Structure 1
């Protein structure tokens, strides 16, 4: 694959055929020009995932770089893995560096993320991009611990036409509470959390006006199986079929972390998941910030696009 050398001296190199690119030669701890951010936004629309190598970022520097992409989300948790309202401590250790047992709910929350999902799909306006910074990563050669990504535009395009027709009018329920269904040992949602993020419904086929009305799948494997008005057994079967489809290698890329990687991904068109690893042996510490989306998910029958959607 050819490298694309940009006018500020950094280089973008594709990582895999399915998605992803590596950015080298850019220090994110330094001031970033507006035209550089504009180029990064174009690149994320093209590649879906960007990896900025060899970064050394404080929490404040990560926040400042993240804000260049747009307004940050605050997380709904009151007292769990959050070190600041817009910063998520993604780790199997405590915020002060103490190893945690696998029974600790902060570790169990990480297991919820081991299924394909897109961040903040439980919100009426889901996230735009997420930024995950590697502080402690798996040793070279250790099994697991990668982050997988799946390209929902490519996955949708590869569906048979009869399945495209079947899912076009459907919506899926997304709920922040679903992690408790997967792991009942987690503490119940607080009153604040229930009011902050009630269940929402999004189109199963997402239409992207900023991509010439291109379509993608929009689902998660860590949401519920409730799909429109389908009987639960039919919804589960359809959900299982779609999850199996998006898991195929031709749609995916698994990122092997190096310390200092900052990985940014587009939640509108990519799913991601944390690969399982031996939590009792290895420490894995990341810091995540998330940029809010600019509107609700649009589907083929949304008023804003119903007369403008290009043919499949």
Structure 2
């Protein structure tokens, strides 16, 4: 997934994290993506830049694309992060500069680790279903892994847990209630898709040292007593051992969590680095050099990088 903003501002990721449980409801903002898709951007948000290593969250749909091209995101670069593709409806065709070609379908994990450099494109297949609904997320790579070789993983089968009382969860990344995703992670974190049946009142086990957020996907449910509906993200802080969930009608949400990310970093456009000079070099390499490789097979031109801001990008971080 690309950030298509032609005037991206430097994003100071980090900031203080909660010292205990909180209930901070954040609204998303609409952002155009590609030719015909509009997403709701929930991270980074005003006052909340990260949840664990999760640093970027876009949600889209459900959109009627029966007579539309659907998602069309041209080839673009990434460094210093992982991208996570997660669908509730529709299909996304992934191509990258490693030569990967994979169609990601609902409840399957598409996980791309950029490492030092990769490029990819994302598009709805020419023959696609009538609905597109899902999320695209980024995970910041810690310093010891951000220069690693790029990689792409596709996992069609993921572990599930049953929380009792009509609650079920698919573990996308990390570990939840003893179930571990096959997706590769490089810091302590978790991502799960939670479905809640009508009439459910349950408690989901969580890690006390993790900070968490819940992202509504469909319907309305209560998470720790807070009604959570579409277009919203509920930041929950740290210090819980279980998370109360209830719903009067069928609903679903994504649970994101991890240990607070302590490193200072800069996020600008599709790059995560540690200094202005790193970002500047990455932009130049995308525009002029072979570093990010070539995405073959996409019918269209690649995405040019926007101009850097006139001021130096400064790394920021969390304060314990």
**TM bin (shorter chain):** under 0.3
Higher relative contact order (CA 8 A, sep 6+): 1
Higher helix proportion: 1
